[in-house]
Amino acid sequence: MCGIAGWVGRPTLGADFFEEKLQRLRKVMELQSYRGPDASGIWENQSKNIIFGHNRLSILELSDAGAQPMIDPSSNSVLSYNGELYNHNSLRKELVEKFSVNFRGKSDTEVVLHGIQNFGIDEFLRKADGMFAFAFFDQSSEEIILARDRVGEKPLYFFNSSSGFCFASELKALTAIFDHNLVIDDTGLQLYLLLRYVPAPHTILSGFMKLKPGHYLRFKQSNPSFEQIPYFSWDPHASEISPNSENYNTVVNGTLKLLVKSLESRLMADVPLGFFLSGGVDSTLCAALIRKFMGKEVNTYTIGFKGDSNSEHLVSEQTAKIIGSKHVVKIFEPSELMSNSIELIAKLDEPNGDRSCVPTFLLCKHASTEVKVALGGDGGDELFSGYSRYPGLNQRIGNGKFYNSKESLKAYLSFGLPVFGFSVFRIFEKNFSHSFLSSLSANMFGPANIEQSIRFVDFNSYLPGAVLSKVDRMSMQASLEVRTPFFSPELLDFSSRLPHQFLYRGKEMKPVLRDICRYLGLEHVANLPKKGFGMPAEFLSHSKDELVKRTGLALKKLDGNPIVNSGIHNLGSKLAPFAGANMNSLWATIVLGEWFESLQINYVD
C-alpha cells in the first residue's frame, strides 16, 4: 500500500505561493511516510499550479517502472495511486488488444493510468476489481479526478479552499497544508459520539471531507465546485432465489467457487505473503481454501493474551494443524494492550473508538516481521449476516414497531451498537447528524425483513467507517498490506441476492460460510459462536480502575483543548455524565481526548 497527496492551486497564484505549497506538501508526505516507506516521489507543474506526491510501499513491479507519480509520456496525464488492482492482467490484455497500449512495465499502476484514459473513468471503475484511492490529472481537459474503491478499503481525504484543492491519504497529514486554524466539526463529533467513528463524507475536523466509498469526483481549476459521484452501491432488494434446499446447496457451491476465484487473484505479489488466522470462520476460510484448491504453502499468524480464557490462538493452532500451514503465534502480556493503546491513539489518523484497534495493530506488527502482505476475512459478517446483534431484529424494530425507517435505525443503533446514545445530543444546540441518519435509514427500505436489510446499513456505515478504517490504519502503522477476498465485484453482487432464509439457520449465523468450513473438515470452527476480535474481557475487568482514570483525564484534556473549544466549549464537562454509560462510551472518550491532545501537540504550530 501507499500514501498519496496533492495540491491543485488557483491559476492566478504566483511562484512564491507555489513554492510554499510544494514545501508543505513535502511535509504531508513525511507525516504519512510509514504508509509507503520504500520510496517517495513528487510531480510538479508550476505553470498549472499542480503538485502530486506519492509514498510507495512496493508490492508489485519492484523496479522503477512502478514508480509514482506515474506520467504517460504520450498525453502527459499523471496518476498518484494507492491500492491493488487484482484484475490488472486481464485489463492489461484488453487494453493492448483494443487500444494497442504499449506498456513499459508490469505494474497495476500503469494499467490504472491507461485504463482511465482509454475506457473513461466510469467504464474503468465498473471493470476494476481492487482496493484503491487515486488522483488522476488529465492534461488535455485540465481536469482532476479522485476515486475510491467500492467498499472503502483505502482512504482519501480532501479540502477545497481559496488557495486550492488539496488531498491526501490521511487526515492528520493533510492538516500540514491547511490554510486555516483547526476546528472540531459539529457533525463529525456528533456522529462519533453516536457511532464511535466518523462516517464519510464527514470528518472530525471542520473544512475537511472524506471521499465516500464507491464514489469519484471531478474538479477543474476554472470551476472550484465539485460533487461526489456514485459508481457503485450495494443495495437492498428482494431476492429472486427461491429458499429451498436445492438452491441453498447451489448458493454454498457458488460462494465457494467465487471465494476461491477471488483469493487466487489476491495472491499476486512480488514480496512474501501470509494469512491472518483467528478462531473465526472468515479468516479460516481464506487460508483453508488456498491450501485445498491451490496446494500452496501458507504462512498463518495469530496472537493471544496471557490469562485470556477465550483466546483465539488455541482454535487457530488446531486449524493450522488440519490445513497444514506454517503457523506462528505470539502471546502478549495484557499490560501491552494498555501501553500500546497510549501510543496508537496518538498515531490514529482520525478518532476510532473500536477497542479492537490495539489487538489489530499487534497482529499486523506480528505478521509484518515475516511478510509484507496478509490476507484477512473482513466483510464476511456484512455480506452473509454474521453479527450476533442481527437475530431478533424483526421482533424489536420490524415493520409496524416504528412509524418510519429512521426511528427503526435509531433503535438499532441504541441497543445494537450502543455508545453514548441519542441522549448525548442534548449537549448540542441542534441535531447536526439528521441528514446522514436520514440517508442511512433509506437502506432499511427494500426487503420487509429487517434482519435481511440491516446488513446493508452496516455495509454502508459500520464496515467502511469502523472496520476497514481500523484495518487500513493499523496495518499501515506496521507497513503491512492487508487484503480480503469478500469484496470482489462478483461476490458482492452474489451475496446481495441471498434470501433471508439463507442468512440464518435457527440461532446459527452465516450458515453458508459455516457449511463451507464443514466441507473443509473444520467443524471445530464452524460450530463456534461468533466472537469479536477485541480486548479480552479479563483485561477490561482487571484494568477498570485505570480505564476510569484515563477517562477522567481525557475529559479534562477535551475541556482544555483549543481545537475543541473553538467548536464547542467545555466538551469534557458536558460529556462527563454520559462517558461511563458502557465500555464503548468509556473507551470512545479516552480515544477522543487523547487524540485531540496529540493533534494539538504534534500538528499545530
Residue 90 domain-assigned (yes or no) = yes
The answer on 86 and 194 residing in a single domain is yes
The answer on 15 and 130 residing in a single domain is yes
Q: Residue 403 has what pLDDT?
A: 63
Is residue 479 over pLDDT 90?
Answer: no
Is residue 502 over pLDDT 90?
Answer: yes
Q: Residue 62 has what pLDDT?
A: 55
Q: Binning pLDDT at 50, 70 and 90, where does residue 394 land?
A: confident
Cell numbers describing residue 586? 468509556
Q: Residue 122 has what pLDDT?
A: 97
Residue at which a domain ends, from 206, 230, 254: 230
Residue 500 domain-assigned (yes or no) = yes
Cell numbers describing residue 240? 429472486
Is residue 296 over pLDDT 80?
Answer: yes
Please state the rounded mean pLDDT for residues 234-254. 88
Q: For residue range 360-387, list pLDDT tens digits in order.
A: 999 999 999 999 899 999 999 999 999 9
Residue 48 domain-assigned (yes or no) = yes
Share of the chain above pLDDT 70, in %: 96
CA nearest neighbour of 83 among 231, 266, 215, 227:
266
Q: For residue range 409-440, list pLDDT tens digits in order.
A: 888 999 888 899 999 999 998 999 999 999 99
Sheet holding 50-56, edge to edge: 39-45, 50-56, 2-9, 164-168, 157-161, 209-210
Of the listed ranges 164-173, 241-250, 251-260, 261-270, the one predicted with least confidence: 261-270
Of the listed ranges 98-112, 228-242, 411-425, 507-521, the one predicted with least confidence: 228-242
Peptide bond into 499 cis (omega under 30): no
Mean of all residue pLDDT scores within the chain: 90
The answer on 466 and 367 residing in a single domain is yes
Is residue 447 over pLDDT 80?
Answer: no
Q: Residue 597 has what pLDDT?
A: 96
Count the domains in the chain: 4
Cell numbers describing residue 253? 457451491
Enumerate residues 6+ apart whose C-beta is below 8 A from 571. 184, 189, 427, 558, 559, 564, 565
Q: Residue 39 has what pLDDT?
A: 74
Q: For residue range 196-224, list pLDDT tens digits in order.
A: 999 999 999 999 999 999 999 998 887 77
**Domain CATH for 330:** 3.40.50.620
Residue 574 domain-assigned (yes or no) = yes
The bridge status of strand 373-375 relative to strand 481-483 is: parallel
Is residue 444 over pLDDT 90?
Answer: no
Residue 237 domain-assigned (yes or no) = no
Q: Which residue range is the domain that position 195 belongs to?
A: 2-230
Is residue 131 over pLDDT 70?
Answer: yes
Is residue 124 over pLDDT 90?
Answer: yes
Q: Residue 339 has what pLDDT?
A: 87
Residues belonging to the chain: 605
Please name the residue that has the C-alpha cell 457451491: 253
Residue at which a domain ends, from 174, 200, 230: 230
Please name the residue that has the C-alpha cell 457458488: 254
Cα separation, 409 vs 415, in Å, equals 10
Cα separation, 555 vs 2, in Å, equals 35
Q: Binning pLDDT at 50, 70 and 90, where does residue 400 land?
A: low
Report how far Cα 597 is from the mean position of its chain's Cα atoms.
24
Q: Residue 489 has what pLDDT?
A: 97
Residue at which a domain ends, from 452, 467, 500: 452
Q: Is 242 exposed, middle or buried (0-12, 13-18, 19+ CB in 10 A)?
A: exposed
Q: Residue 58 has what pLDDT?
A: 55
Of the listed ranges 5-14, 252-261, 544-553, the one predicted with least confidence: 5-14
The answer on 197 and 73 residing in a single domain is yes
Q: For residue range 114-123, list pLDDT tens digits in order.
A: 999 999 999 9
Angle between helices 245-265 and 489-496 (to 10 degrees): 160
Residue 238 domain-assigned (yes or no) = no
The answer on 364 and 290 residing in a single domain is yes
Cell numbers describing residue 428? 448540542
Residue 287 · residue 302 · CB < 8 Å: no
Cα separation, 101 vs 257, in Å, equals 32
CA nearest neighbour of 262 among 129, 167, 381:
129
The answer on 208 and 145 residing in a single domain is yes
Residue 489 domain-assigned (yes or no) = yes
The answer on 146 and 204 residing in a single domain is yes
Share of the chain above pLDDT 90, in %: 67
Residue 37 domain-assigned (yes or no) = yes
The answer on 206 and 86 residing in a single domain is yes
Q: For residue range 55-87, list pLDDT tens digits in order.
A: 876 555 555 666 789 999 888 899 999 999 999
Please state the rounded mean pLDDT for residues 235-260. 90
Of the listed ranges 33-37, 62-66, 118-122, 258-262, the one predicted with least confidence: 62-66
Cα atoms in the Cβ-side hemisphere of radius 13 Å centred on 412: 32
Element (H, E) at 78: strand 78-85
The answer on 196 and 85 residing in a single domain is yes
Is residue 448 over pLDDT 80?
Answer: no
**Domain CATH for 116:** 3.60.20.10
Please state the rounded mean pLDDT for residues 244-259. 97
The answer on 90 and 224 residing in a single domain is yes
The more confidently predicted of residues 563 and 603 is 563
The answer on 78 and 9 residing in a single domain is yes
The answer on 505 and 437 residing in a single domain is no
Residue 360 · residue 470 · CB < 8 Å: yes
Please state the rounded mean pLDDT for residues 183-190. 97
